[in-house]
Amino acid sequence: MKLQDLDIIVTAPPAPGWGGRYWILVKLTTDTGITGWGECYASSVGPEAMRAVITDVFTRHMAGENPENIELMFRRAYSSGFTQRPDLTVMGAFSGLEIACWDILGKHRERPVWALLGGRMNDRIRAYTYLYPLAQHNLTDFWTAPDQAAESALDLVARGYTAVKFDPAGPYTMRGGHMPAMSDIVQSVAFCKAIREAVGTRADLLFGTHGQFTTAGAIRLGQALEPYAPLWFEEPIPPDNIDEMARVARAVRIPVATGERLTTKAEFAAVLRAGAATILQPALGRAGGIWEMKKTAAIAEAYNAQMAPHLYAGPVEWAANIHLATSIPNLLMAETIETPFHAALINNMIRVEDGFITPPETPGLGIEVNEALARAHPYIGDGLHLQMQEAPCDYVNGNSFQGGAPATDPAGDDATEG
């Protein structure tokens, strides 16, 4: 059995686009006719440029190879061009292709992917999600309204969720870390207070940031949140300075989580060695794929750290996350995004029920990709998957982080199909 054909589909979720402006799906076919699906979570360059990178990685390192030889193909891609160091774009391309290989192998052996990774360790996967606006909420106002966030949290708890994530702490900008405005700190505290009062002890609070702050700013904010006992303080400073993130971890009595912008075991191991985080959040469509993150989970186990696979993408990456989560002993929880489009794209074959996910028993990733639906929603914008704000933090008029697909979109598109 050899890898033979590659197809790439760039699909856009309908507005408001939870999960990003577009998702890059890859379909591999072997010479024996088995197909496998993967998803590349790569956003450093636009989707057309990524098409070229994905095609090059496949043609150069994987075409004609037995899909079993994942270690060999990883070493080719990781070492190509005299690198042998983490490359976010190349690894983003390889990750989706590697996920598709596992889908093929599971189908070939008529077993779910988790069974090929050491078997089922977890019968249920604890799910969490961001707080998103409910039908009665205004899409723009929601992100600065603690009472609306509390209503959304209550809705999720009623549906069985035991952890909810939110980021009311202001913008993430291309300028790097900033000192939070006092209004951002006050607003963040108000969100924690309102949500904690609403859900009590029925759900953990996951305080998200997106690397917004300087070390001192993250410490100021984190210490202000401590009375509400969040389960984690996510990526409090930009991910390029591990030693400074470790300073935050030592100064704030909330566990630090990080990883959605990291790739390969090399970067995650450095985080653990520095004591910068105790919760790792790999996005499998970027981090090197399933096998590389299985290794990372083993390294984390030696540091008594836990894994919480990240998702701000489509449901194919989510499926890969679930198979990894099923197979590891140091799982904390897994992120999920519940929208009709996410569900329809995989024919609703993996679901969150009462706040937990049951690992699929179907061979491969356990999903059927609705290829016609994916092709019917092409991405036609010119923004990246996620956009960083160019304007600095506003210390006069206040700030608003409107999620990954804001109502007022700085990219000039709304992540919808044509």
pLDDT at 138: 87
CA distance 182 to 173: 18
Same fold, 3-112 and 115-365: no
pLDDT at 406: 57
pLDDT at 219: 98
19: left (phi over 0), alpha (psi -120 to 50) or beta: left
Q: Which amino acid is at 129?
A: T
pLDDT at 388: 86
Q: What are the residues whose beta carbons fall under 8 Å from the beta carbon of 23, sequence distance 6 or more?
A: 10, 11, 12, 13, 39, 313, 314, 316, 317
3-class secondary structure, 350: coil
276: DSSP letter: -
Tens-place pLDDT, residues 12-29: 999 888 999 999 999 999
248: DSSP letter: H
**By the 8 A CB rule, do 211 and 236 touch?**
yes
- Can you give the residue ranges of every domain in the chain? 3-112, 115-365
pLDDT at 16: 84
Parallel, antiparallel or unpaired: strands 279-280 and 306-307: parallel
Element (H, E) at 70: helix 70-79
CA distance 292 to 120: 18
pLDDT at 317: 98
Question: Would you tell me which CATH number, out of the four given (3.20.20.450, 3.40.50.720, 3.20.20.120, 2.40.160.150), belongs to the domain 115-365?
Answer: 3.20.20.120
pLDDT at 403: 63
Structurally, at CATH architecture level, domain 3-112 sits in 2-Layer Sandwich (3.30)
pLDDT at 405: 56
Give pTM, 2 decimals.
0.96
For the chain, residues with pLDDT lower than 50 are: 410-418
Neighbour count for residue 148 (Cβ, 10 Å): 19
pLDDT at 408: 55
Phi, psi of 108 (to 5 degrees): -65, -40
